[in-house]
Structure 1
Amino acid sequence: MPGLDRGLVEHKLPIKEGYLPVKQARRRMSMETELEVKEEVERLVKAGFIKPTIYVDWLSNIVPVLKRKTRAVRICVDYRNLNEASPKDEYPMPMANMLEDGAAHN
């Protein structure tokens, strides 16, 4: 976001030792799907949710997902390689029902 200190809002992912960056090969898709994906990416760029970058260490594919009812394209990103290289959280998030039970006694 413009005007905010990068040290305050910038996130960095820790990577396990011994893992090298992975650049996935381009995923093939039909021309119609590719055009819909480009339109969705342009919409997200204009909205300020994503921004283009030129030099990346990790490169993950866009995975188009068609919504059943509207047939609109939703884009997802394949982060399997990055997830494998990230250390697991020592303190996972508690289950929602455990939080509700704990709050009910207050």
Structure 2
Amino acid sequence: MAPAELIELKSQIEDLLGKGFIRPSASPWGAPVLLVKKKDGKSRLCVDYRKLNKATIKNRYPLPRIDDLMDQLK
């Protein structure tokens, strides 16, 4: 990542931390981040979760239907 991008990345992360949208983590899992230019020239922070999604164990059970749940409440 270029030095200018690192400065922008740190700025966006500090802003998100300050607003409480993200928090520090000590998790062994992580995902790479990149900055993508928007049409207005500003940068958007993006996280590439593809490898993390491949490692995630999928839930293999069906979700209950809402009408069945409503019937149980009656």
Under a length normalisation based on structure 1, what TM-score does the superposition of the two structures give? 0.51
Q: Name the Cα RMSD after superposition.
A: 1.8
Which structure 2 residues correspond to residues 12-27 of structure 1 after superposition, within 5 A?
none
Please say if 1:58 is aligned against 2:25. no
Secondary structure of 1:46's aligned partner: helix
Match of 2:49 in 1: 79
Distance 1:59 1:89 in 2: 21
Point out the structure with the larger helix share: 2
Aligned residue identity for 1:83: N
Point out the structure with the larger strand share: 2
Runs of at least 5 residues in structure 1 that lack an aligned partner in the other structure: 1-28, 93-106
Aligned residue identity for 1:35: I
Under a length normalisation based on structure 2, what TM-score does the superposition of the two structures give? 0.70
Shift of 1:56: 1.7
Q: Greater RCO between the two (CA within 8 Å, min separation 6)?
A: 1
| Aligned positions, number | 62
State whether residues 30 and 52 of structure 2, in contact with CA within 8 Å, keep that contact through their aligned partners in structure 1: no
Distance 1:51 1:89 in 2: 26
Runs of at least 5 residues in structure 2 that lack an aligned partner in the other structure: 64-74
